Structure 1
Amino acid sequence: MKPATMQRACLQHQRIHQRVARAQRGATAIEFALVFPLFFAILYAIITFSLILVAQQNLTLAAEEGARAALNWQSNTSLQTALTNRGNAACAAAKLVASKLVQAMQCTPSSATCGPGGAMQCVNVLLTYNYQANPIVPILPLLGIVVPKSLTSSATVQLNPENIQ
């Protein structure tokens, strides 16, 4: 091959390569635009569910602390008043522990007989957080299908009848 012919072939090859490179110029941006929403949705779901698990753990801790507070309540009143006071103290302790969730959290104390033959009294603390009405982070449209509507936790303590009053 003559040098002039080789040079022409090389120039033709360069022109073809430049045309292909120009045609591919926006391909990377389009690929990124197509893949980014999927990656963002996955990251957002991970963050959302991590915060939901943290809130659930916080509610569980608050219910346990509230039930434990019912053990420490001292009262010289009737049995029902003492149980009501212990339940209220349990809710107050639970709300103190779950201070970040307290605006949307509901605490329901209850007492009932328990144990063999109903010889004991139990105080139950039930905490409910309406997550759908008060999400920690905004919920994406399709993520709302799998996000729980509310978070609940409960704890029960058993009281000796002689220690209630």
Structure 2
Amino acid sequence: MDRGAGNVAQRGIAAIEFALIFPIFFIVLYGIITYVLIFLAQQSLALAAEEGARAALRYTTANRGTIACNTATQLVSWLGSSGGASTATCTPVGPFTCAFPAGTTAQCITVNLAYPYAAKPLVPLLLGSLMRVAVPATLASSATVQID
């Protein structure tokens, strides 16, 4: 009985099993990496909106919204940048009369940040349009601060 012929057959089976299982493991790993980067971008947008709102507190000028947005966009400049400029957009809202507490005359300002993830994904979408169903089109965050 030739034992060498049996080992060759076993090695062939292992290669077939690997070829069948590897794509599944790769897609799962790719999905994990994609969603980790989406989560990281969302957390960065939230932090940038908060810091932008805090920056509006430091100045008493009329252009608090501009200062807040400049601060926020600097913090997310790494998102989708190819030359240092972020594709995240910032929109200041206010100052306006705060809704809470009721009957107050205090002024608030809101910083809204949005990143078009569908247009500029952080990692290429592996399955093209099929994967666009599973990832968000836009990542957004906002922060409101009382300025008076």
Same fold (TM over 0.5): yes
**Segment of structure 1 superposing worse, 129-138 or 18-27:** 18-27
Following superposition of structure 1 onto structure 2, how do residues 42-61 of structure 1 map, counting pairs within 5 Å?
A: 42-61=28-47
Are positions 1:154 and 2:147 aligned together? Answer: no
Shift of 1:19: 4.9
- Which of residues 119, 122, 126 is equivalent to 1:136? 122
SS at match of 1:58: helix
1:23 Cα offset (Å) = 3.9
Q: Map 1:7-86 to 2 at 5 A.
A: 14-15=1-2, 19-75=5-61, 82=62, 85-86=63-64
Contact 1:45 1:143 survives alignment (8 Å): no
Tell me, in whole angstroms, the C-alpha distance in 1 between the residues paired with 2:11 and 2:145: 68
Q: What's the % identity of the aligned pairs? A: 52
- Cα deviation for residue 132 of structure 1 reads 0.8
Task: Give the alignment's TM-score, normalised by structure 2.
Answer: 0.85
Higher Cα Rg, which structure: 1
Show structure 1 runs of 5+ residues with no match.
1-13, 76-81, 161-165
Deviations along 1:87-130, one digit per CA (max 9) or x if unpaired, are 11100000111121252101010012114325011100000001
Q: How far apart are the structure 2 equivalents of 1:93 and 1:52? A: 22
Runs of 4+ in 1 over 3 A off after TM superposition: 17-25
**AA paired with 1:153?**
S
Q: CA RMSD in A?
A: 1.7
Q: State the distance in 2 between where 1:128 and 1:92 align.
A: 14
Say if 2:110 and 2:145, in contact at 8 Å, map to a contact too: yes
Q: Which residue of 2 aligns with 1:8?
A: none
Q: Offset of 1:157 from its aligned partner?
A: 0.5
More helix per residue: 1 or 2?
A: 1
Unaligned stretches of 5+ residues in structure 2: 80-84
Q: 2:82 maps to what in 1?
A: none
Report the count of equivalent residues.
Answer: 138
Equivalent residue number for residue 163 of structure 1: none
Match of 1:88 in 2: 66
